Amino acid sequence: MIIGTAGHIDHGKTALVKALTGIDADRLAEEKRRGITIDLGFAYTDTAEGVFGFVDVPGHERFVHTMLSGATGIDAALLVVALDDGVMPQTQEHAAILDLLGIDRGVVALTKADIAADNIDAVTDEARELLAATGLHDAAIIPVSAHTGAGIEALTAALHALGP
């Protein structure tokens, strides 16, 4: 299954892919220097349930065309929303693109649970409202921390539950 990340810049898409796969999908020197994803990144993990491939997309508004090119071939989405920010403009854009592409399988990861756990209920509500009229309206919402590993097992299980 190919899973594409989606979400606002600095919400932790690349860190989450690394926590799930052990692979840093940011490979360009400029990405490392600037600390943002500029081009599509790729990672995979081989699990007992099968191989999961990830397409890590940029979240910056100037790279929405790159996000779109990465999202066109995915089977499911991993929508990432940071608990310290909530739903932001690129979260909305990416969710709309996923819906236009007909992506109806996915999981929402609420990142930075280690620093903003108090916001879980409010951001969960924001994500549900954002996705209510989309194919992802029933997506599981999982609080996680890429830095501590909290919630990564639950996220992996939710991704496996999407099926092949």
| 13-22 pLDDT tens trace | 899 999 999 9
| pTM for the structure as a whole | 0.91
Neighbour tally for 39: CB within 10 Å:
17
Residue 13: active-site member: yes
Residue 60: active-site member: yes
Active-site choice (13, 18, 94, 112): 13
Mean pLDDT across 91-116: 95
Mean pLDDT estimate for the chain: 88
Mean pLDDT across 39-58: 83
Higher pLDDT among residues 48 and 70, named by residue = 48
Look at residue 49 in the predicted model and tell me its pLDDT.
Answer: 76
* Dist. CA 47–CA 3, nearest whole Å: 14
Active-site choice (8, 10, 18, 94): 10
Residues 126, 10, 136, 133, Cα dihedral to 10°? 50
Active-site choice (5, 8, 11, 14): 14
Residue 14: active-site member: yes
- pLDDT over 70 (residue 9): yes
Which of these ranges, 43-52, 74-83, 107-116, 117-126, has the smallest mean pLDDT?
Answer: 43-52
- pLDDT over 90 (residue 92): yes
Domains of the chain: 2-157 (3.40.50.300)
Longest dimension (CA), the chain: 39
Higher pLDDT among residues 11 and 86, named by residue = 86
